[in-house]
């Protein structure tokens, strides 16, 4: 009763009490946090949720580490692209594997994250950073960016101060610098499929293994259905996928050519955020890499079976 009266009085004065998630340090919202990722200690803004996700979810992001390690057994001098590099956490995780990549080409356009990225990866000699946003094509238009607790979203319907490039455009200007890339990771809150379409030439040429986020809400926000991009991947020769929930747990491995209906059912499950988790992480393999795919499926199954 007293709490209700206090809230009512505060609202009359123009204030509002907001309940914070458990585990958030209010003082830390305005400073920095330091925590472990892989074999490294890194820093993030106080409001960034990564440390909390890593602490509360045993498998969160760790599938990326296992995937890179298994793929490295098959591909010597592995090179990786990391789009949505954020504060460098994925690059740090990737550099914690047994089969450390020869190069990690990282893309991040948000200035605050870039500063943390440089600090967190300063000791790593295999990092190449591109300070730019990526999309489907090189765009001279300016768009607005929204940040929220470590995530970032581009709104192409609103004018702002950022511009967008594409992987193929950068690759062409750099004399095909990405020729040896065999793993492409994208985490861009809805822009993942646009970035894949902007890398079509690279996919045709190098056929990298793909690891990206599938979030129906974010796709809707940028007017992207996702299914047309799966058709593009199929036309290029991609045929197998391993699907995880957003907490990093293995869900299913499928032939995406023979099981198109399953993709539709998975899409329906997370519609309107009504599933047990909000989005998927999907790893897609070209038919030329079926041997790697089979090895990853077996080792991932064995890993999660050992956890039960």
Distance CA 229, CA 236 (A): 11
CA distance 166 to 187: 15
CB 185 within 8 A of CB 90: yes
Residue 186, beta-bridge partner list: 83, 212
Longest dimension (CA), the chain: 69
3-state secondary structure of 171: helix
Kind and range of the H or E run holding 32: strand 32-37
- In the prediction, which pLDDT does 18 show? 45
pLDDT at 3: 59
pLDDT at 218: 87
Cα separation values, 307 from 58, 250, 281, 301, 304, Å: 11, 12, 20, 10, 5
Residue 27: the pLDDT is 45
Burial 82-107 (b: 16+ CB within 10 A, else e): bbbbbbbbbbbbbbbbeeebebbbbb
Q: In the chain, where do the E strands start and end?
A: 32-37, 40-45, 79-83, 103-107, 127-130, 133-134, 139-148, 151-155, 162-165, 181-186, 209-214, 238-245, 250-255, 280-286
- Residue among 190, 142, 202 at smallest CA distance from 166: 202
Residue 248 to residue 60: CA distance in whole angstroms: 5
pLDDT for 227 equals: 87
CATH of residue 264: 3.40.50.150
pLDDT per residue as tens, the chain (308 positions): 565 565 665 565 555 454 444 444 444 455 899 999 999 999 999 989 999 999 999 999 999 999 999 999 999 899 999 999 999 999 999 999 999 999 999 999 999 999 999 999 999 999 999 999 999 976 655 555 655 554 555 555 555 567 889 999 999 999 999 999 999 999 998 899 999 999 999 999 999 999 999 999 989 888 888 888 999 999 999 999 999 999 999 999 999 999 989 999 999 999 988 899 999 999 999 999 999 999 999 999 999 999 97
- pTM for the full model? 0.85
**What is the distance between the alpha carbons of residues 108 and 258, in angstroms, rounded to a whole number?**
35
Domain tally for the chain? 1
Check residue 243 and give its pLDDT: 98
Q: Are strands 40-45 and 79-83 parallel, antiparallel or unpaired?
A: unpaired
Give the structural domain span for 184: 2-307
Joined tokens for residue 6: 């206090």
């Amino acid at each position: 009763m007293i709490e209700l009266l206090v809230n009512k009085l505060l609202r009359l004065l123009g204030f509002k009490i907001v309940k914070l998630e458990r585990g958030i340090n209010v003082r830390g919202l305005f400073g920095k946090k330091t925590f472990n990722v892989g074999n490294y200690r890194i820093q993030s803004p106080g409001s960034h949720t990564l440390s909390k996700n890593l602490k509360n979810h045993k498998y969160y992001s760790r599938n990326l580490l296992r995937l890179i390690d298994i793929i490295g057994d098959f591909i010597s001098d592995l090179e990786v692209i990391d789009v949505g590099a954020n504060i460098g956490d994925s690059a740090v995780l990737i550099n914690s594997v047994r089969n450390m990549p020869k190069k990690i080409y990282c893309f991040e356009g948000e200035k605050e994250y870039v500063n943390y990225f440089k600090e967190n990866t300063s000791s790593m000699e295999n990092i190449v950073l591109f300070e730019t946003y990526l999309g489907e094509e090189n765009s001279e238009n300016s768009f607005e960016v929204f940040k929220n607790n470590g995530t970032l979203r581009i709104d192409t319907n609103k004018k702002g101060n950022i511009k967008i490039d594409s992987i193929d455009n950068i690759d062409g200007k750099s004399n095909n610098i990405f020729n040896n890339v065999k793993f492409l990771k994208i985490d861009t809150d809805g822009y993942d499929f646009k970035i894949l379409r902007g890398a079509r030439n690279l996919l045709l040429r190098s056929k990298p293994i793909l690891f990206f986020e599938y979030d129906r809400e974010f796709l809707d926000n940028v007017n992207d259905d996702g299914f047309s991009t799966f058709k593009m991947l199929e036309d290029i020769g991609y045929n197998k996928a391993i699907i995880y929930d957003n907490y990093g747990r293995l869900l299913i491995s499928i032939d995406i050519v023979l099981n198109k209906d399953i993709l539709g059912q998975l899409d329906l499950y997370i519609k309107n955020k009504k599933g047990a988790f909000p989005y998927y992480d999907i790893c897609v393999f070209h038919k030329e890499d079926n041997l790697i795919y089979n090895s990853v499926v077996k080792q991932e199954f064995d890993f999660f079976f050992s956890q039960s």
